[in-house]
Amino acid sequence: MCSPKVMHCVQERVQREGLPGMSRRSFLQLGAAGALGALAASLVKTGGVARANGKLKVIDLSHVFGTKIPTYLPDEKPKREDFVTVERDGFYIQRWIYTEHAGTHVDIPAHFIGDGKTVDEYPAELLVGPAVVIDISEKAEREADATLDMRDVEAWERKNGKIPEGAIVFMYSGWDARWDDPIAFRNADASDVQHYPGFDAETATFLIEERKVNGFGVDTLSLDFGASTTFDAHYAILGRGKFGVENVANLKQIMGKEAMVVVGLPRWEKGSGGPARVLALV
Amino acid sequence: MCSPKVMHCVQERVQREGLPGMSRRSFLQLGAAGALGALAASLVKTGGVARANGKLKVIDLSHVFGTKIPTYLPDEKPKREDFVTVERDGFYIQRWIYTEHAGTHVDIPAHFIGDGKTVDEYPAELLVGPAVVIDISEKAEREADATLDMRDVEAWERKNGKIPEGAIVFMYSGWDARWDDPIAFRNADASDVQHYPGFDAETATFLIEERKVNGFGVDTLSLDFGASTTFDAHYAILGRGKFGVENVANLKQIMGKEAMVVVGLPRWEKGSGGPARVLALV
């Protein structure tokens, strides 16, 4: 699907063509530090203090982590119980019981790779980067098992410029609209094969090797498309020491905007990943 | 300890005196948006792309969330077990069992207040703000049950200017150096009364009402000093709809720097708080 020739033609095209959207392009091409500069500049342009009471706007890319959320294995829903309550004990604490890959959560190399880094060993600086949101919602509407492939990257770069080093690249498929209906979100057929979009593995490899991105995100249950049995995107991403966020919410709200994403993944000991708060600063 | 007169004398003094440290003062007085602008400007000043490969520096204010960490109730340590492993199953996932107030974690109003907001209802924008780190380590060395009081706020503002709206105010007591020794961190006496520093409740109230801060953080097990039986700081903070982060790490690394803090608290359903990743962008 993505030959080395295709990979490089994207770069060549970007170098060759003087395309529109320069403000956004320059934002992205500067990487994280430059992006923040542009972000501050845009705050000044829009009045700064006047906008959102002088505060950065924070957009929440996270779903609530609850007991009825869609999960990859339908029986593996998180459980919670009262440990103490204000009424009985004067203060309130819950106890949680759950497996790590539920809700808006991160996959870290150790999830698939025997000697891969666990969460507590994973560098914090990789969890922050400018957001690149690639929209494949039209394709996903036609074909649930669609993948974000080189044509989508190429189309995005034609419009916005080269994906910057350190970016976190998100697939927006429109799937988060199904979140409150776990059966529709999981979208399993009569044989319990799931169907939803994901990343094409060679494209993920291109983004890591040729664009030096920090990580990935999807608005579905898996970095791979639902029917995958080989988990090629997982191996491509985690095998190269990168991370992926699954069940990301509200990507439409940052699409086309200058956003810095912070993946707030608690430092789970020996974690293969785990629940996280994903926030975008715009 | 903190009369209305004391509260206002701090403001008056700041207005009256033209004190040094203007760059840092202007950073802080601009609030979050301005702070980001100053942050970007400082990146430009220091070479931007040259510094940290063109990336923001990320400082991790979080401890590892593990099974042997210090906890308020010594028997309530988090538990984890393998759910599946790469060797046996082809991929690796842990199951976690824990109560919410362990590790670097957040207290949210519902922790103490019957009708207080739970984590899933709490506004994301309050979880981001410029860091103000107030050093009480000398006092804490003399007296374990020391509190961060109005004199500390006054001293900080004399040096740095008025604490900005939307700030997250951290107490640095030096206590995180004890983290790897749970007995020393908890520092309980023969009657199992704990001894470590915390916030003075009236000072916390001043910071909320007169400085409009977003939240608080401590490098100890509790917002209150260890021997407190009335939890006045908890009531002052949570009762006013604000949050507190406990067991914060590495505050010394951001002390005196321009840092934007992101409290990555997963959206725990009906949560009274919970484990979080706290990251500072400098």
Q: Give the minimum alpha-carbon distance from B28 to chain A in angstroms, rounded to a whole number.
A: 12
Task: Pick from A27, A28, A29, A36 the residue to mutate for testing the B interface (most B CBs within 10 Å).
Answer: A36
Residue type for position B250: N
Q: How confident is the prediction for chain B on average, in pLDDT?
A: 86
Q: What is the pLDDT of residue B134?
A: 98
Provide, as residue numbers in chain A, all residues whose Cβ is less than 8 Å from the Cβ of B224. Answer: none
CB contact under 8 A, A114 and B87: yes
* Residues in CB range of B181: below 8 A, 6 or more apart: none
Return the higher-pLDDT residue of A233 and B12: A233
A269 neighbourhood in chain B, CB within 8 Å: 64-67, 80
Q: What angle do CA A120, A123, A129 make, to 5 degrees?
A: 130
Question: Which ranges constitute the DSSP H helices of chain B?
Answer: 4-16, 22-29, 31-45, 86-89, 137-142, 150-160, 182-186, 201-209, 232-238
The C-alpha atoms of residue A111 and residue A72 are separated, in whole angstroms, by 14
Total number of domains constituting chain A:
1
User: Closest Cα of chain A to B119: distance in Å?
Assistant: 9
Q: Which residue in the set B43, B125, B269 is minimally distant from A36, CB to CB?
A: B43
Q: Which of B48, B80, B103 minimises the CB distance to A33? A: B48
Does pLDDT of B231 surpass 60? yes
Q: Which amino acid is at A90?
A: G
What's the pLDDT at B55? 56
Q: Chain-centre distance of CA B223, in angstroms?
A: 9
Nearest to B267 by CA among B167, B127, B102, B141: B127
What is the value of ipTM here, to two decimals?
0.85
Q: How many CB pairs under 8 A join A and B?
A: 261
**What pairs with residue B58 in β-bridges?**
B281
Q: Strand, helix or coil at B237? A: helix
d(CA B226, CA B203): 17
Q: How far is B135 from chain A (nearest CA, A)?
A: 25
On whether any CB of chain A is under 8 Å from the CB of B266, the answer is yes
Close Cβ partners of B22 (under 8 Å, ≥ 6 residues apart): none
Q: Which domain holds residue A19?
A: 4-281
Does the CB of B225 have a partner CB in chain A at under 8 Å?
A: no
Reading phi first (left if > 0) and then psi (alpha if -120 to 50, else beta), residue B122 is in: beta
CATH of residue B66's domain is 3.50.30.50
For residue A168, what are its two tokens? 């976190």
pLDDT at B91: 95
Kindly state whether A81 is in contact with chain B, defined as any CB-CB distance less than 8 angstroms. Answer: no
Longest dimension (CA), chain B: 69
Buried b (16+ CB within 10 A) or exposed e, B134-171: bbbbebbeeebbbbbbbbbbbebbeebbbbbbbbbbbb
SS3 string, chain A, reads: CCCHHHHHHHHHHHHHCCCCCHHHHHHHHCHHHHHHHHHHHHHHHCCHHHHHHHCCCEEECECCECCCCCCCCCCCCCEEEEEECHHHHCCCEEEEEEECCCCCEEECHHHCCCCCCCHHHCCHHHHEEEEEEEECHHHHHHCCCCEECHHHHHHHHHHHCCCCCCCEEEEECCHHHHCCCHHHHHCECCCCCECCCEECHHHHHHHHHCCCCCEEEECCCCCCCCCCCCCHHHHHHHCCCCEEEECECCHHHCCCCCCEEEEECCCECCCCEEECEEEEEC
Smallest Cα–Cα separation from A100: which of A130, A86, A120, A124? A120
A50 touches chain B (CB under 8 A): no
Residue B28 predicted with pLDDT over 80: no
Distance of CA B184 to the CA centre of its chain: 20
Instruction: Work out the percent of chain B whose per-residue pLDDT is above 70.
Output: 80
Residue A4: per-residue pLDDT: 36
List chain A residues with CB under 8 Å of B221.
none
Per-residue pLDDT of chain A (282 residues; tens, 9 = 90+): 333 333 343 334 334 433 333 344 444 444 444 445 444 444 333 332 223 344 579 999 999 999 999 999 989 999 999 999 999 999 999 999 999 999 999 999 999 999 999 999 999 999 999 999 999 999 999 999 999 999 999 999 999 999 999 999 999 999 999 999 999 999 999 999 999 999 999 999 999 999 999 999 999 999 999 999 999 999 999 999 999 999 999 999 999 999 999 999 999 999 999 999 999 999
Listed residue (B215, B30, A267) closest to B223, CA to CA: B215
Show the CA angle centred on residue A264, arms to residues A259 and A266, nearest 5°.
Answer: 170
Task: Answer whether 0.90 is exceeded by the pTM.
Answer: no
Q: Does B73 touch chain A (CB under 8 A)?
A: no
Q: Is A63 near chain B, with CB under 8 Å?
A: yes
- Express each pLDDT in B160-207 by its tens digit: 999 999 999 999 999 999 999 999 999 999 999 999 999 999 999 999
Beta bridge partners of B171: B134, B218
Q: Does A111 touch chain B (CB under 8 A)?
A: yes
Chain A contact for B70, CB < 8 A?
Answer: no
Name residue B281's amino acid.
L
pLDDT for residue A56: 77
Whether residues B33 and A41 touch (CB distance < 8 A) is answered with no
DSSP conformational letter for B158: H
Cα(A177)–Cα(A42) distance, integer angstroms: 30
Pair of tokens at residue A68: 């009825």
**pLDDT confidence of residue B23:** 45
pLDDT digits (tens, 9 = 90+) for B39-96: 444 433 333 222 334 457 999 999 999 999 999 998 999 999 999 999 999 999 999 9
Say whether A269 and B67 touch across the interface (CB within 8 A).
yes
Cβ distance A86 to B271 less than 8 Å, yes or no, reads no
Mean pLDDT value of segment B231-236: 98
Q: Which residues of B touch A112 (CB under 8 A)?
A: 86, 90-92
Residues of chain B neighbouring A128 (CB-CB closer than 8 A):
55-56, 58, 279, 281
**With a CB-CB cutoff of 8 Å, which residues 168-207 of chain B face chain A?**
none
Match 């969330």 to its residue by tokens.
Answer: B65
> Which residue does chain A place closest to B37, by CA atoms?
A40
Q: Is B75 on the interface with A (CB under 8 A)?
A: no
Judge whether A68 and A180 are in contact, CB under 8 Å: no
Which residue in B65, B94, B231 is closest to A266 by CB distance? B65
Give the chain B residue whose CA is nearest to the CA of A99. Answer: B95
| A57, closest residue in chain B (CA to CA) | B125
